[in-house]
Amino acid sequence: MPLQDVTVTIDIKNPSALIGLGTPLILVNKSGGSPYKEYRDLEAIKVAFGEQSEGYEIAKKIFDQGDTRPEKIAIATYDTTAVELVTAASVLEEYFYNDWYFVMLDSGTVDDYKAISDVVEGHGLKMAAHVVDSVEDLALLKVEDYDRTFAFQHDQIEEMPHAALIGRIGSLPVGSVTWKFKTLNSVTPQDLTPLKLSDIHLKGGIAYVRKAGIDQTSEGKLVSGEYIDVIHGKDWVKLNIEQQVQLLFASNPKIPYTDSGIAQIEGAVRTVLEVAGQNGIIAVDDSGKYLYTITSQGRNESPAADRAERRYSGLYFDFELAGAIHEAKIKGEILV
């Protein structure tokens, strides 16, 4: 676990959402490889792994998505040829709290993908991204109903649409975009019937299709059916509150266990929720006010045991997700 003195627990009720939550991590199989490193350009990755490696190809796909690509890519290596097997899942566990958010495996079976998703799900933080070439494989992932994994079904998995999507919008301000309707560079749309596309969606997958003459992602959901931007937004709020309250503690000689000290913590939380509203994570009412509430217990309401341990646990907040429009049904009349 990372070192921290601030813990935020968020329970999103349906319908209800770290700075830099767009950095991808690629897990690469490399004999005797180095453990974990961050790269800001493709040339350095080519030198480290070779132009023919799948890790390089995934990184290239991410960096090829234009001005919205992430500033850096993290790569951690595992080694299936070692005498003592080093699995991708064990490497993921080791570096889970490094500065990245989306994890992808260079290649593997559905069982390998499940092992990665199980780690992410177990921590209740970050996201895994996979690509498969059949709805049967999608169905195997759907059995687990992952709430932190999105999966593409594409008949040309070498085009890596999952990596392209992360490169295209993963680094944009969290809450400002939906993951549906996105055009990806160097990904071929599939020619799918409505029935086949519906089957992919029912099995928790995303496809890349052509609609109204525009190549685009067919959906923006995780395997469980939850929207990617909801979980991304939830993590943004959680991690930014942890960071801001930790910063409050570190930058002051003392936060007193008084009502004024508690008000400082509440102020840090309020600042994060206001930014979340500005970014589009939190909904707004007709008067332009962001739909969140904060309640806090005063010093006299805090248990004596908490005061003795210098622990405050009396602040609560909730908010209403802004969401996005993914479909429209429009009725009209043309007069002649």
Q: What is the DSSP string of 182-226?
A: ---TT-PPP---HHHHHHHHHTTEE-EEEETTEEEES--B-TTS-
pLDDT of residue 11: 43
Mean pLDDT, each 10-residue run in order, the chain (336 residues):
50 39 92 85 93 94 93 93 83 93 94 97 95 95 96 95 96 90 96 95 96 94 94 89 86 92 92 92 91 90 90 87 59 50
pLDDT of residue 6: 41
pLDDT of residue 319: 87
pLDDT of residue 241: 87
pLDDT of residue 51: 92
Ordered alpha helix ranges (H), the chain: 42-49, 54-63, 88-94, 110-123, 135-142, 161-169, 194-202, 228-250, 259-279, 304-308
pLDDT of residue 322: 81
Distance CA 138, CA 218 (A): 15
pLDDT of residue 271: 94
pLDDT of residue 12: 36
**Which pair of structure tokens corresponds to residue 328?**
């429209």
Distance CA 134, CA 142 (A): 13
pLDDT of residue 19: 45
End-to-end CA distance of the chain: 69
pTM over 0.85: yes
pLDDT of residue 2: 52
Distance CA 120, CA 143 (A): 16
Distance CA 103, CA 25 (A): 5
Distance CA 219, CA 133 (A): 17
pLDDT of residue 7: 52
pLDDT of residue 324: 59
**Which pair of structure tokens corresponds to residue 73?**
């890519």
Q: Please list the residues that pair with 102 across neighbouring strands.
A: 24, 127
Whether 73 and 62 have beta carbons less than 8 Å apart is answered as yes
